[in-house]
Amino acid sequence: MIATKLRKLSILLLSVLSLTTFTTSCGGEGNVSIPGVQGPNLNILEDNLIVSMVMENLEITVGGTYKVPKYKSSYIMFNPNLEGPGSVLSFTVSLDDLFDADVKQLDPKTLPGGRMIPGVAAGALPAVAFSVEKLKNVAFYVGPKIFGMWIPLPKFELYGFGWTSAYKIGSKRVGNVSLFGKDENGENAGFFLALSVASAAERRLKKISEKY
């Protein structure tokens, strides 16, 4: 018991020390890097949000494309990285899905392990969780002004801390990114990317209005 507590305390101290070594990346000015991840990078292509990243510590030999449950036109691609170690994970999220009434009626969920969603008063949002090869409990969350995704980090070995930082494209803040270490059960390390979809909603409504 004492040895276990000392081990977790030492890991926590290493976690705090490791925060001081983080550099800026994630595709914008001042974004904090996520250990073991290159990115995430965000693009908007026609009516889709494209979120991509390299998972440096996950190696797969055969890639695949996976449909997102409850999201009719959204999917995930998970493929070996041809430019270096790790695997390339990309999400194509349809704006039509984000503003679909059925998606917004999904049961509210917290983050995996019961953690509250940072920046959301209720701590939960309508969500769907699913798994792909070597990634358990990927989840999409959608609210009136927020779209979020939870990406598990199974190789992230630090315990008991979390932080939230602004996520930017260039110098413009478009959301938050939050990093979580493992919980007391040694599970549920990962990061949560929350994006503002208010401007995307306005653009979509304008596009629809131009048809009539």
Percent of the chain clearing pLDDT 70 (strictly above): 79
The band of 37, judged by pLDDT with boundaries at 50, 70 and 90, is very high
Mean predicted lDDT score pLDDT of the chain: 80
How far is Cα 100 from Cα 106, in angstroms, rounded to an integer? Answer: 11
3-class secondary structure, 83 = coil
pLDDT value for 2: 43
Amino acid identity of residue 64, one-letter, is G
The band of 30, judged by pLDDT with boundaries at 50, 70 and 90, is low
Q: Which of 67, 190, 41 is nearest to 128 (CA)?
A: 67
Q: What is the pLDDT of residues 45-59, one digit of tens each?
A: 888 999 999 999 998
Q: What is the pLDDT of residues 83-133, one digit of tens each?
A: 999 999 999 999 889 888 888 899 999 999 899 999 888 999 999 998 887
Sign of CA dihedral 77, 133, 73, 95: negative
pLDDT value for 32: 79
Contacts of 172 by beta carbon, 8 Å cutoff, 6+ apart: 28
Q: What is the pLDDT of residues 138-157, one digit of tens each?
A: 999 998 888 999 999 988 88
The band of 212, judged by pLDDT with boundaries at 50, 70 and 90, is very low
E strand segments, 59-184: 64-67, 75-80, 87-94, 108-109, 125-132, 135-142, 146-152, 162-169, 172-180
Amino acid identity of residue 36, one-letter, is G
Average pLDDT estimate for 31-38: 87
Could you count the other beta carbons within 10 Å of the beta carbon of residue 171? 8
Residue 208: is its pLDDT beyond 80? no
The band of 9, judged by pLDDT with boundaries at 50, 70 and 90, is very low
Tracing tokens 């983080």 back to the chain, one arrives at: 22
Tracing tokens 């409850």 back to the chain, one arrives at: 70
How far is Cα 193 from Cα 25, in angstroms, rounded to an integer? Answer: 14
